[in-house]
Structure 1
Amino acid sequence: MNAYAKFRDLHRTGAPLVLPNAWDHASAAALVTAGFRAVGTTSLGVASAAGKSDAEGDTRAETVALALSLARLDALVSVDVEGGFSEDPDEVAALARELVESGVVGVNIEDGRPDGGLADPEHQCAVIRAVKRAAPDLFVNARTDTHWLSGNEERTTARVTAYQEAGADGVFVPGLRDEETIAALVDTLDVPLNILHSPGGPSLRTLADLGVRRVSCGSLLFRAALQATVATALAVAEDLPVRDGLPTYAEADALARAFVQG
């Protein structure tokens, strides 16, 4: 079974893929060390680490550089490419080919736009078709931001159905937490439904029972790391105990060489 097939096989009914999202080599290597077989990237983490805003289409170079780095790991890597960093389907397809050549097995492509609107669905389908023509084996996770913007169930269903018909291997609806709506989407789709983990939303067990086959962490881990960084600095400044169990210097340094494929 090749890497693409292995990644698809992880999207299982009753036992969804839990996909943690990294923002640099060290965070990804730490997740692989912890036992995660597949790792995604978070566009917020990548953009923030570069001093840029998320979802502005301004981090193509940083995203590709991270993909090249993560491809060295013994892991199945899926990359968040925002909207593809171009409105030209052929340019997005060229990016997909570049990522495949680096060893990436999946991408996440969204229809949300920097102005807060949504891409025309026909245009987004053209992008998906172009990517699949250029990289047939690549797992295309087509994200729609309809639920974040309006919560309109009919519009969400129409878009994910269209993206599936255009060739998407999975669909992603961040912000969706209503169990009845999730179950209805699962029944509508033939491809895996991806749900964003929400601390106040359905549990992993509930999502599995509903038929969700992928649960992403999104920017959660990056934001948790920021919180832990500040909390640790404040503990030092206030002469309070620092949390036990931190990686040693040697362990952190070793992440640069961890799981490098020969």
Structure 2
Amino acid sequence: MLLPNAWDHASAAALARAGFPAIGTTSLGVAAAAGKADATGSTRQETLRLARGIARLPALITVDVEGGFSDHPGDVVDLARDLAAAGVVGVNLEDGRPDGTLAAVEAQCALIRAVKAAVPALFLNARTDAYWLDAGGAPEAARRVTAYQEAGADGVFVPGVRDETVIAELAASLTVPLNVLYAPGGPTPERLAGLGVRRVSTGSLLFRAAVQQAVDVAQGFLRGATGPGDVLSYADAQDLAAAYERQVPGGAR
């Protein structure tokens, strides 16, 4: 399954209207849109507010909560409860920390168990940043996803892995779904499915592409371009917001 990642209500609503049955959020996109840095644990309120709105869209919504926005397990559990109450069906919980290290395996497993005990119906996708943080690569990633699976994670996410042999070995070693990050120039979603991957996320790619496209269009005008090709109309953009207002009386709070 391809899981596109949204960063605000409009992007999530547009993806839902395009027919995607499940949509995730991107922590980078949410943080950048709020003028904050990603992976620093500073966007709890922005993430929760967005989740409360888009959970009402006609799609399954899973939310990237970084490391839980707190060093205290109780706070992470409270967040999970709030998200589930809002209608969110899943969360992505990572072991990377703001200082560039990985959380201790035992501590991360304890956090996974605490969240699952409190909100058993919430799909917990346990992410390891062993590749992204250059912290042990394939062996460390394999050790961690195995431990997270045993701790009760419903799925595991290994962003940064691109080697097809490693991906196939990871998928074969697990009994829960393996999630990887789509990388332009890397294996296609179809190829990844053939390797045993169950979920392919776009991560921050859509957000970064949208920002770059905005800059490219503006620069094109300076070069004499008449405008981009097929774009969302004003009326269509208004309709995305109007649908949201109909779903949430008085708008988001």
Scaled by the length of structure 2, the TM-score of the pair is 0.95
1:198 is matched with: 183
Structure 2 SS opposite 1:228 = helix
Unaligned runs of 5+ in 2: 249-253
1:43 is matched with: 27
Question: Which amino acid is the alignment partner of residue 201 of structure 1?
Answer: G
Instruction: Using the TM superposition, give the Cα deviation of residue 247 of structure 1 relative to its aligned residue in structure 2, in angstroms.
Output: 1.0
Q: How many residues align?
A: 246
Distance 1:144 1:40 in 2: 17
Could you say which structure has the greater relative contact order, defined with CA pairs below 8 angstroms and 6 or more residues apart?
Answer: 1
1:160 is matched with: 145
Instruction: Using the TM superposition, give the Cα deviation of residue 257 of structure 1 relative to its aligned residue in structure 2, in angstroms.
Output: 2.8
Contact kept? 1:74, 1:261, Cα under 8 Å: no
% identity of equivalent residues: 62
Structure 1 SS opposite 2:29 = helix
Structure 2 SS opposite 1:147 = coil
Distance 1:216 1:250 in 2: 30
Describe the superposition over 1:180-204 as per-residue Cα deviations: whole angstroms up to 9, x where unpaired.
Answer: 1011111110000001000021111
Superposition RMSD in Å: 1.2
1:79 is matched with: 63
Instruction: Using the TM superposition, give the Cα deviation of residue 256 of structure 1 relative to its aligned residue in structure 2, in angstroms.
Output: 1.0
1:135 is matched with: 119
Distance 2:194 2:22 in 1: 22
Distance 1:212 1:261 in 2: 34
Structure 1 SS opposite 2:62 = strand
Question: Are 2:154 and 1:169 aligned?
Answer: yes
1:253 is matched with: 238
- Of 112, 116, 120, which aligns to 2:104? 120
Distance 2:199 2:223 in 1: 41
- Of 219, 225, 233, which aligns to 2:218? 233
Unaligned runs of 5+ in 1: 1-16
Distance 2:168 2:236 in 1: 43
Structure 2 SS opposite 1:39 = strand
Scaled by the length of structure 1, the TM-score of the pair is 0.91
Instruction: Using the TM superposition, give the Cα deviation of residue 67 of structure 1 relative to its aligned residue in structure 2, in angstroms.
Output: 0.3
2:251 is matched with: none
Distance 1:88 1:180 in 2: 37
